[in-house]
Amino acid sequence: MLYAILCYHHEDVVQAWSKEKHDTTMTNLRQVTDKLRRHGRLGPVARLLPTTAATTLRKDQEPPLVVDGPFAETKEQLLGFYVIDCASLDQAIETARELARANMGGSFEIRPVAELNPGSLQP
Amino acid sequence: MTDLAWIDAALTSARPQAIGALLRYFRDLDTAEEAYQDACLRALKSWPRNGPPRDPAAWLILVGRNVALDGVRRRARQVALPDEETLSDTGDAETATVERLDDSQYRDDILRLLFICGHPELPAVQQIALALRIVCGLSVPRIARAFLVGEAAMEQRITRAKARVARASVPFETPGAPERAERLAAVAAMIYLLFNEGYSATAATAEARAPLAGEAIRLVRLLLRLFPGEPEIMGLAALMLLQDSRAASRFDAEGGIVLLDDQDRSRWDKAAIAEGLALIDKAMRHKRPGPYLIQAAIAALHARAARPQDTDWAQIDLLYANLERLQPSPVVTLNRAVAVSKVRGPAEALAMVEPLAERLDGYFYFHGLKGALLDQLGHPAEARDSFNRAIALANTPAEAEHIRQHLDRLSQH
């Protein structure tokens, strides 16, 4: 089953990381994703630009309203996500733990994927 | 478990909000800063043991306020401090505070703090120094290094700045809309000033000064989170991100200036460019471009060009024409002349530059550009005069060296 691991963190904390901290974290994460890729379990991965770059379309009205900024003002923000093939929830949690060891702080929301359209984009 | 790098980043990012709120309580910069520092010391003890709080800023505000109030009470009544554990046990209280303090109050707290530090009555250097010390938490030695002055002199400058803003007595009531807009504009100007102090660095001082540009970008992002619908703040953020994306390619190994046309574009920071372009797209939807947004749009046309010859100079010329209308200044006209020289040739550009002679006589770039245009038009003697004038006005050895190369080339012909 495919699981989405949604990464939430205090955006301003991540932006306050030193370059060394940033580089080390990225290297650590790459080791985990490389392993997942070798095992054929790694799906799409996205790292999002800061929520300050976000625009929200509120479509509960006609015509929909375009608002600057993220959908919700939250303490932690959605910063990116992984889609990973896991045999069970236990394996998904184990994978999330590995990613967490590579990048501490914040939270991962583990969500089973109902349907994945791989699209046609090449990275 | 909470690693120290995380705590460090959390303390840094919570700082403006925490000091802003503590300043509202105590109405005094020194007290607010001390209260924040006390709260940080307690965080360093408590967080590794109890895990990080859900809202670090609210935790720091609450603990900082309690510690400072205890200090006030103790001085008043000579009562001993409560023991560490009672103060650090803020789990429940934290939740209550988060619910009590709503976001709009935080927003005005941070804006007020930034406005006080960048108060228009302060000279530019004092504005920047105070913001770096209080809002960003840079140490005095580090700020002193960035400004190439001694620590004692910088300490004194910051103390003077604090005294001056205390006298200016910025009101602590919730500001009205016109006041808020006025503060926002002053704060934006201060942040851009801070960025330019970091950005205009020479290769030799780049290392000491680079943090200034980084801090400025952090502050503008903070401002953008507080005011997500302000196109000029989006424009300022985009402008700084796009300029900073070129930081790694601005100097060669010997510390010489590498002009835009000669920079290795593969070394430009693609993530910063993507963020800058996204912000411009958002801001343009508001259809009232202001000076920061127009300058960002100009920077974007450079960022979008894969090679120098792909640059859309005609569009840059148009954007500068808009900027001239909004914010007439001889420096803007001078910059426009560069675009004009690419689109309509050096003769037209020179005709545009010459009337500026009186106002820009003491300006390095004026003589540098005039020399280059005269050179292109085949007037080597006059070009040499302009370049000699430019060398005399160079602000850094790198600028002088760049002009000297022009002069050397001229003398070979």
Largest CA distance in chain A: 48
Asked whether residue B78 carries a pLDDT value surpassing 60, the answer given is no
Q: How far apart are CA B387 and CA B375, in angstroms?
A: 10
**pLDDT for A116:** 93
Helix, strand, coil fractions of chain B, as percent rounded to 5: 75, 0, 20
Closest CA to A103 of A14, A15, A11, A12: A14
CB-based contacts of B23: which residues, under 8 Å, 6+ apart? B29, B32, B109, B112, B113, B116
Closest CA to B197 of B138, B152, B155: B138
For residue B5, which residues of chain A lie inside 8 Å, CB to CB? 17-18, 21
CB atoms within 10 A of CB B66: 19
Percent of chain B with pLDDT over 90: 60
Token pair 């929301």 in the structure block, residue: A109
Given B12, B56, B275, which is nearest A49 (Cβ)? B275
Q: How far apart are CA B202 and CA B163, in angstroms?
A: 32
Percent of chain B with pLDDT over 70: 91
**pLDDT for B89:** 44
CA-to-CA separations, B109 to B80, B225, B244, in angstroms, rounded: 31, 14, 28
ipTM greater than 0.90: no
Question: Looking at CA atoms only, how far is residue B228 from chain A in angstroms?
Answer: 5
3-state class (DSSP) for residue A56: strand
Answer whether B52 touches A (CB < 8 Å). yes
The token pair at B375 is: 């050179």
Angle between the B177-199 and B231-244 helix axes, to the nearest 10 degrees? 10
With an 8 Å Cβ cutoff, are B224 and A52 in contact? yes
A55-58 vs A65-68, strand pairing mode: antiparallel
pLDDT in tens, B80-105: 555 544 444 445 555 455 445 556 77
Answer whether B229 touches A (CB < 8 Å). yes
With an 8 Å Cβ cutoff, are A68 and B228 in contact? yes
Closest CA to B133 of B217, B61, B33: B33
**pLDDT for B200:** 66
CA-to-CA separations, A3 to A26, A76, A117, B133, in angstroms, rounded: 21, 21, 14, 45
Q: How far apart are CA A30 and CA B21, in angstroms?
A: 39
Element (H, E) at B369: helix B364-376
CB-based contacts of B257: which residues, under 8 Å, 6+ apart? B250, B251, B398, B399, B401, B402
Answer whether A72 touches B (CB < 8 Å). no
Sign of the torsion angle spanned by Cα atoms B54, B58, B63, B64 = positive
Domains of chain A: 2-48+76-112 (3.30.70.1060)
Interface of B with A in 201-220 (CB under 8 A): 218
- Over range A70-95, report the average pLDDT: 93
- Angle (CA) B329-B203-B408 rounded to 5° is 75
Answer whether B6 touches A (CB < 8 Å). yes
Helix extents (H) in B91-230: 91-100, 103-117, 124-130, 140-146, 151-168, 177-199, 203-226
CB-based contacts of A9: which residues, under 8 Å, 6+ apart? A76, A77, A79, A105, A106, A107
Interface test with A, best of B97, B222, B224 (most A CBs within 10 A): B224
**pLDDT for B294:** 98
- Over range B296-320, report the average pLDDT: 96
pLDDT in tens, B174-233: 888 888 898 999 999 999 989 988 876 677 777 778 788 988 999 999 999 999 999 999
pLDDT in tens, B126-155: 999 999 999 999 999 989 988 888 999 999
Q: How far apart are CA B133 and CA B165, in angstroms?
A: 14
Q: How far apart are CA A72 and CA A56, in angstroms?
A: 9
Residue of A nearest to B223 (CA): A52
Name the pTM for this structure: 0.87
Answer whether A74 touches B (CB < 8 Å). no
Q: How far apart are CA A67 and CA A49, in angstroms?
A: 17
Element (H, E) at A30: helix A19-38
